[in-house]
Structure 1
Amino acid sequence: MSYYESKKLREERGEIVHQMHELAKQVKSEERDFTSEELEKWDHLEADERSYTSKIDTVERLERANSLVTDKEEVQEQYRSLKPRSNKSEQVTQRDWELALRGAAFRNTDNFTEEMDQACRKLKMSPSQGKVSFRAQSTDATQGGNTAGNEPIRGLEQALLSYGGLNSVATTISTATGNTLPYPTVNTTGQTASIIGENTEVTNTSVTFSQVTYGAFKYATLVQPVSLELMQDSSVNMMDFISNALVTRIARAQADDWVNGDGTGEPRGFLLDSSNGKTSDGTGVISYDDLVDLQASIDAAYDVNSVWLMNRSSEASIKKLVDDQSRPLWLPNLVPNSPTTLLGKPIVIDEAMPDIANAATPIAYGDFSKYIIRRVSGVDVRFLQERYMDLGAVGVIAFARADGALIDAGTNPVKHMTITGS
């Protein structure tokens, strides 16, 4: 993978985007809706554009990875510096996997042996840091057994589903404890100075402070029981998979709360405190004028760091819009590592945002660094060793404490669009 491959993919995607722009421009100039044939063509072009975007992202991620380590010998040398190599072969055996998995289960207990520790080191795992976790319930096919067998494929295809987005542009504060965290605010924008005459008494005034208080709501995954048989028989390295899966389950729940939380027993989603910057001119649809008005509703002091927030469905609708000069509003990231933009500002995709529909608030714009996410320590993964001992299994569960709310001192750093209709 090279820069030139990335450049070629971007050029090919640029041609597809050009065709999309020309199609939208033609429809706009003729003041009509898309025909069924044009919609079909558009859908094909949009699918191709997404495919190229995915390929470009993969290439650039690989390029970044390759830039970190380019020599296999360097990797081996780094590993040798962590643990002296013995004269014995370093080939990983089934016994190593079994010992490492047991080591992960019995970490920080009297049952954790030196042999388990050596197996964990050989597999580059660190149970003392909790960077391991376990498999599905049992060797039943759908509960993990499909990863075991005489000679299974040594891989695992996971279903993917996008989540988050707001988290990437919000401000995160990490604390060691979950004690109440007040965040002070003040609004003096309505106060100015004045010209006074000679020997004129100056009137006293005061500044009023307020605050937003952050707590620490406790998130938990369901218990993940893992049978001894599966720990011994699975040939797929699912340790990182399960560990990441537990974290992802918590992240998905939090991502929805950052947007839609009602503040009662859960964080305050930003839509609860953002103000309405624009009500769409049309019923159930968004127009170019609507987007311009929403963007203009944000004060220039916040506009410097402002971005658009919407889900993929809303972005697809906006891709078809052009301005009064038949120029597309949506522009792809043709420059490596640059974001897709709308009216000159980056688009952040968050699938927790509502779809375009009557009375919905599908698009927001503003400075989302004013949304504060408070986290307490990290994700805590626990191993329930005694609870399932009579079943020959170990339970795994993860917890995390967090809160979130929009900081608005009074001048509305984030605003949303409300779609006309009921």
Structure 2
Amino acid sequence: MNTKRLTQLETKDLAHPKGAVVKADAAPRQTGATASEALDQLLGAFEDYRHANDERLAELEKKSQADTVVEDKLRRMDEALDKQMARVNELALKARRPEKAGAAAEGLKRQSADGGFASTEHKAAFERYVRQGQEHDLRQLEVKALSVGSDADGGYLVPEETEAAILMRLANVSPIRAIAGNRQITANTFKKPFSRSGLASGWVGETATRTQTASPDLAELAFPTMELYAMPAATQTLLDDAAINVDEWIAQEVEAAFAEKEGAAFISGDGVNEPKGFLSYTQVDEDSWAWGNIGTLNTGANGAFAASSPGDALIDLVYALKAGFRQNGRFVFNRSSQAALRKLKDGQGNYLWQPPVTPGAPASLMSFPVTEAEDMPDIGSGTTPIAFGDFARGYLVVDRLGVRILRDPYSNKPYVLFYTTKRVGGGVQDFDAIKLLKFAA
């Protein structure tokens, strides 16, 4: 077996000599400098992985026990594949990002076409506030616009372009936000009515009498927004540098903090001062499913896949979803679960997990796209580490319009802190659109 590709991937982090200084914007030293090259590396590495796993399965058939050397090789290959997948996604994401100068020029063009002088004025006043602490112009603009909940104590609203940049970055890096439904609101709570019984209907002749239909049983879902904050810091020297794009810097700084907290909350948040994650709702066996609960299917073995035909549990999970949801279905699990799923085959010997076919595309499991979310639980006794569903229909992310920033040059001298807050909520909006695989007998 040719292990050259895997060796390259496993040793790529050693490319720089000890003590060397690597610039953040320097060209990567890893193999695969472009998304296409990185994808070719990934496909080749997966081919080697398949050969190694076939060797493991052959050992199991002969001795009922796999060679520990082969098991260790597979573990290292899994780590290398995960790193290369991340590399492919990173390069594809960079390729999709617009040029900063072009994006800024296009934004100004749109503002001019829409008569957006106020937006340009707000942007200029906001930049003076961030760089120099001059808040008079910004306060006057927000008083004129009757902005509520935004004052000298609570901070100032960022320009629309900055808010859009923050939300766009979050959609790129926050796994559940990227696949969930989204609503933007101006109130603190989004309320959505739904019918428990459905609307009564029936067939009728052209001239036949129309009998009165039964009234639907209506209920209401409420999605309150909670405050999420980050506090990036900068030196005054950095802020005085005219080459620094303030909007881009703020979006970059809060991206990681917001995405990390959102990612965990959308999956397992308890709904107290944070969104309610889809794993926090009551879980019931699919045979006794009712609205308000998340349906589960068992693997047939406690803390593991069944020894015989392990992929059957995944097939059952897919077809537990109604056809209307299934056509937009996708799997969600973490990297540890993905390592276990890579080893599974169908009855014809084909691997159920497949790498992406184009740069920027997700990997697939049984032809359905995969979203890797590290906040999903690991495989264990009674856990539900694998979700499948139409998340755009099943889970709703609610953003309250307005991101606020409070400039604080006093608390941690010589640094200037920027207390940045946004309000976000989330919860299941259709309990029939998400199903979970439970590792239980």
TM-score, normalising length: structure 1? 0.68
SS of equivalent residue, structure 2 residue 304:
coil
Shift, 1:301, TM fit: 1.6
Could you say which residue in structure 1 is the equivalent of 2:419? Answer: 397
Q: What SS is found at the alignment partner of 1:322? A: coil
Residue number among 297, 307, 315 corresponding to 1:278 in the alignment? 297
Native 8 Å contact 2:56 2:67 kept in 1: no
The Cα shift of 1:108 comes to 2.5
| Whole-angstrom CA distance in 2 between matches of 1:201 and 1:243 | 58
Q: Which amino acid aligns with 1:14?
A: L
Partner of 1:353: 376
CA contact (8 A) 2:93 2:360 kept: no
Tell me the SS of whatever aligns to 1:420: coil
1:378/1:350 Cα in 2 relative to 1: closer, same or farther (>3 Å)?
farther
Name the structure 1 match of 2:40.
11
* Aligned position for 2:367: 344
In the alignment, is residue 216 of structure 1 matched against residue 225 of structure 2? yes
Q: Is the 8 A contact 2:201 2:213 kept in 1?
A: no
2:178 counterpart residue number: 168
Specify every segment of 5 or more residues in structure 2 that has no aligned partner in the other structure, as ranges.
1-26, 110-126, 140-156, 163-171, 282-292
Alpha-carbon deviation of 1:308?
0.5
Name the residue aligned to 1:420: 440
Distance 1:14 1:284, change over 3 A: same
Measured in 1, the distance between the counterparts of 2:160 and 2:327 equals 41
CA distance in 1, matches of 2:303, 2:232: 43
Q: Which one of the candidate residues 298, 314, 328 is aligned to 1:291?
A: 314
How many Å separate the matches in 1 of 2:196 and 2:420? 40
Runs of at least 5 residues in structure 1 that lack an aligned partner in the other structure:
83-99, 113-126, 133-161
1:131 and 1:243 in contact (8 A); partners too: no
Tell me what 1:49 maps to: 81
| Structural mapping, 1:92-103, within 5 Å | none
Contact 1:303 / 1:367 at 8 angstroms: preserved in 2? yes
Paired letter, 1:414: I
Task: State the Cα distance separating 1:280 from its structure 2 match.
Answer: 1.9
Checking the alignment, whether the CA contact within 8 Å between 1:25 and 1:328 is kept in structure 2 is: no
- Once the two structures are aligned, what percentage of the paired residues are identical? 19
Cα pair 1:246 1:397 within 8 Å, conserved: no
User: 1:6, CA displacement in angstroms?
Assistant: 4.5
Whether the 8 Å contact between 1:163 and 1:255 is mirrored in structure 2 is no
- RMSD across aligned positions (CA): 4.3
Summarize the Cα distance change of 1:46–1:238 in structure 2 as closer, same or farther, 3 Å threshold: farther
SS of 1:365 mapped into structure 2: strand
Q: Which residue of the other structure, out of 30, 35, 40, is the alignment partner of 2:72? A: 40
| Equivalences for residues 365-404 of structure 1 within 5 A | 365-369=388-392, 370-385=394-409, 388=411, 394-404=416-426
Three-state SS of the structure 2 residue aligned to 1:405 is strand
Q: Secondary structure at the match of 1:381?
A: strand
The answer for the alignment partner of 1:139 in structure 2 is none
Matched residues in 1 for 2:209 and 2:245: separation? Answer: 78
Tell me if the contact between 1:25 and 1:326 (Cα under 8 Å) persists in the aligned partners.
Answer: no
Instruction: Report the equivalent of 1:261.
Output: 269
Pairing partner for 2:52 from 14, 23, 35: 23
Partner of 1:137: none
Distance change >3 Å, CA 193–CA 304, structure 1 → 2:
same
Would the alpha carbon gap of residues 365 and 103 (structure 1) be closer, same or farther in structure 2, given more than 3 Å must change?
closer
CA contact (8 A) 2:199 2:216 kept: no
* TM-score (ref. length: structure 2): 0.65
Residue 250 (1) aligns with residue 258 (2)? yes
Amino acid of the residue matched to residue 177 of structure 2? N
Q: How many Å separate the matches in 1 of 2:298 and 2:83?
A: 34
* Deviates most, 223-232 or 267-276: 223-232
In the TM superposition, residue 340 of structure 1 has moved relative to its aligned partner by 0.7
Cα shift readout 1:398-417 (whole Å, capped 9, x = no counterpart):
11111111112x6x110112
Larger radius of gyration between Structure 1 and Structure 2: 1
Q: CA deviation at 1:208?
A: 1.2
SS at match of 1:263: coil
What whole-Å deviation, never above 9, does each CA across 1:27-68 have from its counterpart, x for those lacking one?
Answer: 446544542111122133333333443443344345445xx5
Specify the code of the residue in structure 1 equivalent to 2:181.
T
Aligned to 1:60: 92
